[in-house]
Structure 1
């Protein structure tokens, strides 16, 4: 059964600055504790990642995932291509300028192939949502400060 969640945060940065941090896929493990390894497999002509392979550890399960990104000027989404513990994953960020800040909405839908109690799935997803928003905000500000 699929589980969905969404979360919003406001970041003192432009959409372009935020998308640049998300596009730095190889750095994701440095600010997102669920990711232990990340590499870009293929890039679009503009240099943005198209496909990436990531090792994710959550709820006591280590999973190797291959995902494919779709980029616009105000969003990035990704879809799971392969995984050992998930049937599906669709996620993404939608960025809306708000003065000198940007409103960031993160949406995620997952469908696990391994059975886990509902409370573990919800707790793990909540941690991932916090990292995807609050962790992203901290990383964007860190990169902006240099």
Structure 2
């Protein structure tokens, strides 16, 4: 059962500062409790992460995932699941828009587990990921990139 969600939130930082926080994928465990370890396996020519291996644990399920990141300057980034023991699909994206107060962040996520998982658990996992993206990223950027 695939589920998709979106969330918008504001960070009191410039789009460049917010993107610097997003680019620091090796530091995901600092602000995302679901990320246990992150290893950058390859980078794009500009040095930004391309292929990333991570161990993730959410709702009691631990998974080793490989994702590919795509970047569009300081405007947006997205990722696509390449390999996972627990998921068929995981697509996510951050889109940044400058505002007079900082940056509006639009976050979207689609997940589809391989194993039959009750819908309420899938929605709970997705809600946790969406909330972490908002609260965790905001605190991380405001503490480290301003």
C-alpha displacement of 1:100: 4.3
Any stretches of 5+ residues in structure 1 without a counterpart?
A: none
Distance, in Å, in 2 between the alignment partners of 1:76 and 1:83 is: 20
1:123-138, aligned counterparts within 5 Å?
123-138=124-139
Aligned-residue offset at 1:124? 1.4
Report Cα offsets for 1:88-107 as digits up to 9, x if no partner: 11101010111240000100
- The answer to whether the aligner puts 1:58 opposite 2:58 as a matched pair is yes
SS of the residue corresponding to residue 139 of structure 1 reads helix
Looking at structure 2, the residues matched to 119 and 6 of structure 1 have their Cα atoms a distance apart, in angstroms, of 17
Which runs of structure 2 are paired with 1:59-138 in the superposition (5 Å)? 59-73=59-73, 74-138=75-139
TM-score under structure 2 normalisation?
0.96
Partners of 2:126 and 2:76 in 1: CA distance: 21
Cα shift readout 1:22-53 (whole Å, capped 9, x = no counterpart)? 11111100110000000100001111001100
Q: Does 1:49 align with 2:45?
A: no
CA distance in 1: counterparts of 2:110 and 2:21, whole angstroms: 22
In 2, the alpha carbon distance for the partners of 1:39 and 1:16 equals: 23
Give runs of ≥4 in structure 1 deviating > 6 Å: none
The residue number in structure 1 matching 2:17 is 17
1:30 is paired with a residue whose SS is helix
Contact 2:21–2:145 under 8 Å retained in 1: no
Root-mean-square deviation over aligned CA pairs: 1.0
* DSSP 3-state at the match of 1:39: strand
Q: TM-score, normalised by structure 1?
A: 0.96
Structure 2, unpaired ranges of 5+: none
